[in-house]
Amino acid sequence: MGRMGLRDFSMLLAWVVIVVYFASAEATFLSSRNLAQLAIELSITAVLALGMLLIILPGHIDLSVGSGLGLMGGLAAVLVFHLGWPAPLALVVATGVSVLVYAGMGIFIARERIPAFIITLGGLLVFKGLHWLVIENSTVPVSAGGTTNLYSLLTTYYLPPFAGFALAGGMLALLVVLRIRSYRRRRAGGYGVEDAEMVFLRLLFAGQLILLFVLVMNRYQGVPISALLLGAVAVTVHLITQHTPFGRYLYAIGGNEEAAVISGIPIRRVVIGAFGIMGVIVALSGFLQTAYAGASTTTTGQLMELDAIAACVIGGTSLKGGRGSVIGVLFGALIMATLLNGMTLLAISPESKLIARGLVLSLAVWMDVRLSRTSGPVTLTR
């Protein structure tokens, strides 16, 4: 974890100001129902942003994910609604297609040395056109005749209260295991370690946040299944980036590609692997977004690539690569989701929403450039 700096406090302050403003402007903002909806919206934005983290770390960018998630969500919806496929099979097939497509883009970027900006910009246009062709420019629901299936349950199923508390206990136990493992590895390697009291306080604070989340969700219908998917993706990406050679390679390539080549890091395979993982995350984000909307339409996923990039940059990920963390991305996604949820609740016009999203992205990039000059590199733990 990185040391607290000016960026961390400024982002926390910004989020508090956003929450206070919307809570004072609309009384239902802090209602249990709206907070549950916010949790689902956060899950969608954060899952996509975590995938974007894996692309940005080695110094690349992906502008196609918004159109890509619309395409994959629409493909699964067509398979279920029009062709009568079982929902689990449709989701698996769409995920497989997504992995192949994104790994293919990774091959062009890594082996042909084509800038990711150009390849993914082309992907944005191609995927958007294919999405419209697949759904035939119409609205395709995720279930037929009002019946529920696995697809529709992704954003409509909530865990019962007792399961939520069991989940909280399991997550806290996992955090303790990971912290102890990191502590032992650093100590065995001769690196500096935190005081036991500080480790305990961090775990206590994390446990309180998890318990508070479960309590708030249980006031409505329980913890949404989408939040579980977000937790699974966050833990997986954290383990990849912090506890595997592949993750260390991502940071090394983004930090200094020439040095990574000299060190013998398989840059091509790492970049292709990152885009392949992104394919899985794009498909999952597409399923969540489509299920949340109840149907696939021509606007599904529109501009969501910008929300994912903004969440990464707000959370401290450098657009040049080599710096970023899962915790930071989650917090950046929380800011974006809170902002969008509040504006929707206040019925702010679409044009004003676009202006706000653009300003947030611009300010986040400005802060990345400005604060990185004084804060120095982020210290990571293994």
- Whether 7 and 371 have beta carbons less than 8 Å apart is answered as yes
Question: Looking at residues 112-117, what average pLDDT do you find?
Answer: 91
What gap in Å lies between CA 134 and CA 177, rounded to an integer?
A: 45
Instruction: Give Cβ neighbours of residue 90 (< 8 Å, ≥ 6 apart).
Output: 75, 76, 79, 80, 151
* Whether 85 contacts 78, CB under 8 Å: no
Distance CA 367, CA 187 (A): 35
Question: In CATH, what number is assigned to the domain containing residue 296?
Answer: 1.10.3470
Q: Is residue 193 part of a domain?
A: no
Give the model confidence (pLDDT) of 299-319 as tens digits: 999 889 999 999 999 888 988
Q: What is the pLDDT of residues 142-174, one digit of tens each?
A: 876 667 889 999 998 999 989 989 988 888 888
- What confidence score (pLDDT) does residue 360 get? 81
| 3-class DSSP state of 90 | helix
- The 10s digit of each residue's pLDDT in 28-64 is 999 989 999 999 999 999 999 999 999 999 999 999 9
CA dist 184 and 180 (Å) reads: 6
Task: Give the residue numbers spanning the domain of 65.
Answer: 6-22+32-157+224-373
Which position has the token pair 């099979």? 89
* DSSP conformation class of 270: H
Structure confidence at residue 193 (pLDDT): 66
Structure tokens at 203: 């775990």
Q: What is the pTM of this model?
A: 0.90
Residues 6+ apart with CB under 8 A from 198: none
Determine, yes or no, domain membership for 232: yes
How many Cα atoms are found within 13 Å in the side-chain-facing hemisphere of 66? Answer: 18
Residue 204 lies in a domain: no
Q: Extract the tokens encoding 165.
A: 């508390």
> How many domains does one find in the chain?
1
- Say if CB 279 and CB 54 are below 8 A apart: no
pLDDT at 100: 97
Instruction: Please determine, for residue 127, whether its predicted confidence score (pLDDT) is greater than 90.
Output: yes
CA distances from 341 to 10, 39, 324 (A): 21, 10, 25
Q: Which two tokens stand for residue 329?
A: 């991305």
Asked whether the beta carbons of 23 and 29 are under 8 A apart, the reply is yes
Closest by CA to 51, choosing from 72, 79, 76, 74, is 72
Per-residue pLDDT at 108 exceeds 80: yes
Tell me if 197 is assigned to some domain: no
Residue 185 lies in a domain: no
Tens-digit pLDDT profile for residues 183-216:
777 777 677 666 777 777 878 888 888 888 999 9
pLDDT at residue 375 above 80? Answer: no
Q: Tell me which range, 70-84, 177-191, 344-358, is most confidently predicted by mean pLDDT.
A: 70-84
Query: Is the pLDDT at 298 greater than 90, yes or no?
Result: yes
SS3 (DSSP) at 106: helix
The answer to whether residue 381 is domain-embedded is no
Quick check: is 359 in a domain? yes
Contact between 323 and 105 under an 8 Å Cβ cutoff? The reply is: no
DSSP for residue 138: S
Within-domain flag for 217: no
Cβ neighbours around 81 below 10 Å, total: 22
What residue ranges in 225-351 does DSSP mark as E strands? 295-296
Q: In the block, which residue shows the tokens 């984000």?
A: 285
